[in-house]
Amino acid sequence: MKMQRVHIALVAVLGAGLVVLACLFSSFLGFEIAKRKITPYGLFDKVHKKIERLEKRLSPPAPRTDVFKDYKIDTALLTLHVQSSYVGVDGIPYPQKHRNYGGALTSLGDQVLLLTNDGSFYAAHSAKDIHRTGIRAPDRHLDAYLRAQQSEALAGYQHLKDALRYDDILVIQADAQSWLLASYTEFHEEALCYTSTLARVPLTSQNADELNILESDWQVVLRTRPCLPLKAHYNAIEGHMAGGRMAFSPPHTLYITSGDYHIDGMRSNLDALAQNPDVEYGKILAIDTRTWESRVFTTGNRNPQGLLLAPDGTLYSTEHGPKGGDELNILIEGHNYGWPLESYGTAYSGGMLRDATTFGRHDHYTAPLFAWVPSPAISNLAFLENFNPHWDGDLLAGSLKGGSLYRLRLQQGRVAYSEQVSFGGDRLRYVHQHSDGRIVIWTDNYELLFVEGVERDTEDNLRKAFFAENTYDALVAMKIESTLASCQECHAMVGAEDLNAPPLQHIFNSSVASTHYRAYSEALATMDATWTREALSAFLVSPGDFAPGTRMPPLGLSDGPVLEGVIDYLEYINNQY
């Protein structure tokens, strides 16, 4: 018995010793492998990177819908009601101006689908409901590009941080199959070159929340030819000049824009691409979705950021000009749009384009339907239908530098006018009309905007709504109306227009003399008081007694229901944006 125990103890000690030795040896082995990067290291590294990528894929950044805004923008014909949320990436504080360059929108089922430049897909019903999905974007080989940047072959090259971008997404129904398409700039490590690439994935559901799509599920259907070598001058890959925007013409023609990546004979050591018939850059391509074969549709295009098939079959594109000359083109097969031989814009120096025959003119090649000078950096296009009768049938273009929408009124095939609608300078990367009619906008500071058109807050509309909500005796109502009409002879009662008197829309409960009106009398300017109901009533009954020296004349009003009604109205308009 005793001997047996000793045996067991001995075996145990020996066993433990062996395990410790084995551990020491294997960690030594691991250390040496890692240190010397000997054969299996690459494998470990690969597995490790794969795991890292998988982790990233499983936990894409959460949307930050806590930063919610609700505001209105007045335009000529209607008021835009905007609701927006910040779809920031974890750890990036709000507001993050101009950090995100890229991304795209499309509609899937009743949701808007958003692809951000880090390859995450979000789905949204509204600005209050933006959530991540189980869809991951195709691989643009960013890891390989980052690796290559460290290699000797690329020593001295300059690299943009966001050279490889996702340019567009689109849901199409082709040959009884629903596809999600994505276009992007792809890096090819072996040959040290890049292409504009189009990938597709079949959709098993029209509900983004039911989809689980991995990077490896995407099938590449097109790589533009040839694979472009990196530029040794200026920036190696200029992904912001990739175009990549898509439009689908059922049953099986897909159009895609292909930018010239700034290889225009000017800022690079390479020959211009847009006029070269043998390359698929600086072109619009047409693709047959049965075979995914591409053909050149138009030539002489620079960096087309928008592509739109209007309901009447017209194919429009928007295109970045150089300095000046952003274009709206009507695309016709076989036409040459002139870049870089002709443009309404000039070289960045302000001089002539290097190979141009004309200066700031468009005489020999197909001229744009409309052009912007100076360039607001026009982004993409939407054709409005079922948005609001005042805007339906118009084209809507976003802009980056311009921070505005441009609404183009079409009249018998020409642009009758362009209305600029400012969004406070935010770079509008992508404009999309959702299937329910709302306009959806993705900005470069990670904000997703949902826009509806409402009737303008005109005096008439507000007045009507006010009397519909309040019941006054008919005679009193008439007198209130005529008194308000008399105020309006001097004051703007809606909006901030500075006539001969301060604008009154937001006077109620604000400090005396607090509008931007510049000609206040001493009496009001120095008065420390608030326009409460009582103060307003005292002032309106006798301006001179309330504020001796005021320039508002006596109006012949006295206490009573009419005066109360007038003040009710001041309170009411104060609550309307």
Give contact residues for ligand HEC (rule: CB under 6 A).
483, 486-487, 489-491, 501-502, 504, 507, 512-513, 515, 520-521, 523-524, 531, 536, 540, 550-553, 555, 566
CA gap 162, 184 in Å, rounded: 12
- The identity of residue 306, as a single letter, is G
Choice between 448 and 540, CB closer to ligand HEC: 540
Q: Return the structure tokens found at 239.
A: 């992904």
Could you tell me the sign of the dihedral formed by the alpha carbons of 105, 109, 111, 113, in that order?
A: negative
Q: Give the length of the chain.
A: 577
Choice between 114 and 562, CB closer to ligand HEC: 562
Q: How far is the CB of 520 from ligand HEC (least distance, A)?
A: 4
Q: How far is the CB of 464 from ligand HEC (least distance, A)?
A: 19
Q: How far apart are the first and last CA of the chain?
A: 94
- The residues near 450 (Cβ < 8 Å, ≥ 6 apart) are 82, 83, 84, 124, 126, 127, 438, 439, 440
Choice between 423 and 569, CB closer to ligand HEC: 569
> Do residues 496 and 516 make contact, with C-beta atoms less than 8 angstroms apart?
yes
- The identity of residue 128, as a single letter, is K
Q: Whose CB is nearest to ligand HEC?
A: 487
> Do residues 208 and 123 make contact, with C-beta atoms less than 8 angstroms apart?
yes
Choice between 113 and 536, CB closer to ligand HEC: 536
CA gap 360, 92 in Å, rounded: 42
Could you tell me the sign of the dihedral formed by the alpha carbons of 400, 401, 405, 406, in that order?
A: negative
Q: How far is the CB of 444 from ligand HEC (least distance, A)?
A: 38
> Do residues 342 and 357 make contact, with C-beta atoms less than 8 angstroms apart?
yes
Choice between 256 and 524, CB closer to ligand HEC: 524
Choice between 198 and 487, CB closer to ligand HEC: 487
Q: How far is the CB of 94 from ligand HEC (least distance, A)?
A: 34
Q: How far is the CB of 62 from ligand HEC (least distance, A)?
A: 45
CA gap 37, 154 in Å, rounded: 23
Choice between 215 and 481, CB closer to ligand HEC: 481
CA gap 485, 557 in Å, rounded: 14
| φ, ψ for residue 460, nearest 5 deg | -60, -45
